[in-house]
């Protein structure tokens, strides 16, 4: 079922789809574990049956997207997430027993029952559309919900493919995919979903949250920000550079949890530049190679060019690690280091979202903590150190959405760890059990016993009520 959004009844078409799914949820009731597993297996089948077509669609949307990066960060990761949901589904859906206050409610029972919310809306970005779409749907379907998905305007080829494929695996009452043809995102975020998850920029996230608030729709916001890393001078610098630069070049830096800026000890500045140059010379010597991903569109490419030019004009030191000029025709941007930046520069104040790494020097760990604490809380934080006490100092004093110690990015790929931001970098979680919880109503149910002592407390209150309340007061004090 492919909606036609060329007409003026865009909002009514979206509302009709939402109502169709809500009606279906009401009629069908709560899905069994077997049905949920079948839906999860269908998600996996889409990936397995059409792997090459999905890879090529994302490649076309980027202009050039490394096949290996799509396999690692999208296909394999999403499949693993679905497999994890299938494996743990029975345990997640189990009714939980909770303690009863026996002094007043002897014989009663408390239970916590996971139940689906209903219809969940997903607004999926362009940078890892397969991963984010299927891993979020994994949690949504594990919880027994229906879903409507709005893809990015930069995912047109992928959207066209999925709009064609999805009806082969799901009825529209269960899952619908919508392309961004202009104005769809705004109308989509205004729908009265039972939950809405948005992944993207903080500025757009605020608009989505404001629109959802009109319907009191709960939101999960997966935003971004400037995620920092710090290298302990006693940590092997070459190893740190190897891991940091791998992550920085991955997807050409177009990752919400990439390293946005790095603290290097003042004594190691020159050594760091040399090590970074050597790593790039060995692993990414030519930005025109097919394994080096393009910047998503001309606007993003020009923003990166402006960012570097502005920093250099205002006194920053710019080091082009590839010694190649940015290529506007292929939208290939060289790996770049920027030193001596200030708050007057865009590089210091805006999420880079590209292969540019701002580097700052420091002498004491307290300087690192102070700098980060004065800014919005980041989505991720990456301390490199073999000193457990120092690592704990950083973790305890730098608040972020998640942490990878002695590496970067890879906490996001751990399906038993929840993923989500804090403050300006987002709210709510998904992945694993926390994803299941996020899209479930953990419904508390109290079962009264056949005999209830509370009947002795009914008015008119007399001596018996006084004695009971006196006893309970002393028992609780």
Q: Which residues are catalytic?
A: 222, 256
Question: 29: which 2 tokens?
Answer: 């009731």
- Chain-centre distance for alpha carbon 162: 21
Q: Which residues of 59-80 are buried (b: 16+ CB within 10 A; e: fewer)?
A: bbbbbbbbbebbeebbbebbbe
Rg over alpha carbons for the chain, rounded to the nearest Å, is 26
Q: Give the three-state DSSP class for 111.
A: strand
d(CA 205, CA 426): 8
d(CA 89, CA 32): 11
Candidates 120, 87, 39, 52; CA nearest to 433 is 87
Query: What is the four-CA torsion angle of 335, 408, 426, 306, rounded to 10 degrees?
Result: -10
Question: 472: which 2 tokens?
Answer: 């309970």
d(CA 155, CA 60): 9
């Amino acid at each position: 079922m492919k909606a036609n959004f060329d007409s003026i009844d865009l909002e009514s078409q979206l509302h009709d789809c939402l109502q169709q799914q809500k009606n279906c949820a009401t009629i069908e009731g709560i899905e069994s574990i077997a049905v949920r597993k079948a839906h999860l297996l269908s998600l996996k089948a889409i990936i397995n049956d059409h792997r090459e077509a999905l890879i090529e669609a994302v490649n076309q949307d980027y202009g050039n997207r490394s096949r290996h990066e799509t396999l690692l960060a999208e296909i394999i990761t999403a499949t693993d997430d679905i497999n994890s949901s299938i494996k743990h589904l029975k345990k997640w859906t189990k009714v939980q027993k909770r303690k009863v206050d026996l002094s007043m409610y002897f014989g009663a029972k408390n239970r916590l029952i996971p139940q689906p919310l209903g219809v969940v809306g997903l607004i999926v970005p362009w940078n890892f559309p397969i991963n984010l779409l299927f891993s979020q749907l994994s949690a949504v379907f594990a919880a027994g919900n229906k879903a409507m998905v709005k893809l990015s305007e930069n995912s047109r080829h992928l959207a066209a493919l999925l709009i064609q494929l999805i009806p082969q695996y799901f009825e529209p009452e269960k899952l619908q995919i919508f392309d961004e043809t202009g104005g769809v995102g705004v109308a989509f975020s205004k729908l009265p979903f039972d939950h809405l998850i948005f992944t993207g920029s903080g500025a757009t996230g605020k608009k989505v949250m404001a629109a959802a608030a009109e319907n009191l729709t709960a939101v999960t916001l997966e935003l971004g920000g400037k995620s920092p890393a710090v290298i302990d001078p006693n940590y092997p610098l070459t190893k740190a550079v190897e891991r940091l630069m791998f992550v920085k070049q991955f997807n050409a830096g177009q990752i919400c949890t990439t390293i946005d800026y790095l603290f290097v000890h003042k004594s190691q500045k020159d050594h760091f530049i040399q090590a970074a140059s050597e790593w790039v010379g060995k692993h990414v010597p030519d930005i025109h190679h097919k394994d080096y991903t393009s910047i998503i569109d001309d606007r993003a490419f020009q923003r990166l060019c402006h960012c570097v030019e502005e920093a250099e004009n205002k006194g920053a030191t710019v080091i082009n690690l590839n010694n190649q000029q940015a290529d506007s025709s292929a939208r290939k941007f060289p790996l770049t280091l920027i030193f001596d930046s200030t708050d007057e520069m865009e590089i210091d104040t805006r999420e880079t979202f590209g292969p540019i790494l701002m580097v700052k020097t420091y002498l004491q760990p307290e300087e690192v903590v102070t700098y980060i604490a004065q800014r919005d809380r980041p989505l991720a934080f990456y301390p490199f150190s073999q000193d457990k006490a120092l690592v704990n100092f950083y973790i305890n004093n730098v608040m972020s959405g998640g942490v990878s110690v002695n590496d970067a990015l890879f906490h996001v790929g751990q399906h038993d760890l929840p993923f989500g931001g804090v403050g300006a970098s987002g709210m709510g979680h998904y992945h694993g059990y926390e994803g299941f919880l996020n899209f479930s109503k953990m419904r508390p149910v109290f079962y009264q016993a056949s005999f209830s002592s509370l009947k002795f407390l009914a008015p008119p209150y007399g001596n018996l009520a006084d004695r009971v309340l006196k006893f309970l007061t002393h028992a609780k004090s």
